[in-house]
């Protein structure tokens, strides 16, 4: 196979890679092409793939250490680093009941704009999502580039928000939607964390750090805090800063969690199966100490 090629999207960010088969061993040269595309474009799409979960993990590890997902029912192929993103129950292979609290909270959390793992002390660097079963219609994933959005904010707004600290809490989605909270032991293992509202990237660029796990802006009146986050989210998700991915079977999409956020779009989840497997590349250190 000839060398992989990068084809930037017309949307302002994101790119497709062609001429690459990840069921075959990756060369250092192909990895470099991918890594450069990832750093430059924020979202990278490779279509027409057919690889195993173990190969998914192997490829992901080129980018760094992977995050673990400790609950076995979330894991694919018994691999703690492969998260099932699905409306299908792993053991029974049946579609989950629509009113199941865990699934409901998962869907409400992921169908809202979010940044993967923003509720963890160390934010993740990247996510790699592979489609194994997709619905006939819907279930797209939308991405918003929060770096481009930050750059486009008026200078006064940038100055106003630059040093704000935001508390992210995994329980927030449940609270907001009146769902029961998770067992105390799990809650204690994932306490709320503080994150900057504006993060500085390694190359000096800045990006908004937003998403559904946000509980409040520290030191700000709750209603004011809610309004500010809503305002920034509305701005960052305007068409100029978004890309909508329509899944085909065998798509691998990798995105940069440092400068994008994303959401899943609706589909008929009572009747249609949607099974995607995700690995997540861990970040290096907490952003705030």
Interacting residues with Fe ion (CB under 5 A): 116
Nearer to Fe ion, 116 or 172 (CB): 116
The β-bridge relationship of strands 43-46 and 15-18 is: parallel
Nearer to Fe ion, 83 or 197 (CB): 83
Least separation in angstroms between residue 57's CB and Fe ion is 18
Nearer to Fe ion, 49 or 257 (CB): 257
Nearer to Fe ion, 116 or 256 (CB): 116
> What's the number of CA atoms in the CB half-sphere (13 Å) around residue 14?
22
Closest CB to Fe ion belongs to which residue?
116
Nearer to Fe ion, 96 or 153 (CB): 96
Least separation in angstroms between residue 217's CB and Fe ion is 22
From the list 125, 105, 99, 96, the residue with the least C-alpha distance to 275 is 96
Least separation in angstroms between residue 115's CB and Fe ion is 8
> What's the number of CA atoms in the CB half-sphere (13 Å) around residue 57?
15
Least separation in angstroms between residue 262's CB and Fe ion is 6
Query: For residues 175 and 181, is the Cβ–Cβ distance under 8 A?
Result: yes
From the list 289, 279, 285, the residue with the least C-alpha distance to 66 is 279
> What's the number of CA atoms in the CB half-sphere (13 Å) around residue 273?
13
Least separation in angstroms between residue 129's CB and Fe ion is 8
């Amino acid at each position: 196979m000839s060398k992989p090629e990068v084809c930037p999207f017309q949307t302002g960010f994101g790119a497709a890679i062609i001429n690459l088969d990840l069921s075959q061993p990756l060369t250092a040269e192909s990895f470099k092409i991918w890594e450069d595309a990832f750093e430059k474009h924020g979202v990278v799409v490779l279509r027409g793939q057919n690889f195993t979960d173990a190969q998914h993990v192997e490829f992901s590890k080129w980018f760094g250490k992977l995050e673990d997902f400790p609950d076995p029912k979330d894991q694919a192929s018994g691999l703690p680093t492969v998260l099932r993103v699905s409306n299908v129950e792993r053991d029974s292979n049946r579609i989950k009941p629509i009113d199941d609290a865990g699934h409901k909270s998962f869907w409400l959390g992921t169908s809202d704009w979010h940044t993967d793992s923003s509720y963890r002390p160390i934010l993740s660097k990247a996510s790699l999502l592979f489609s194994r079963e997709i619905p006939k219609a819907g279930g797209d994933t939308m991405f918003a580039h929060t770096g481009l959005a930050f750059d486009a904010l008026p200078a006064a707004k940038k100055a106003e928000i630059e040093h704000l600290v935001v508390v992210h809490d995994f329980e927030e989605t449940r609270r907001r939607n009146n769902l029961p909270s998770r067992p105390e032991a799990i809650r204690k293992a994932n306490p709320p964390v503080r994150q900057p509202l504006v993060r500085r990237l390694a190359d000096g660029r800045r990006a908004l750090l937003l998403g559904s796990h946000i509980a409040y802006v520290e030191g700000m009146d709750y209603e004011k805090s809610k309004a500010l986050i809503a305002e920034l989210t509305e701005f960052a998700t305007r068409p100029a800063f978004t890309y909508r991915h329509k899944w085909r079977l065998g798509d691998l999409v990798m995105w940069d969690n440092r400068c994008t956020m994303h959401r899943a779009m609706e589909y008929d989840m009572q009747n249609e199966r949607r099974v995607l497997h995700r690995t997540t590349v861990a970040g290096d250190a907490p952003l705030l100490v």
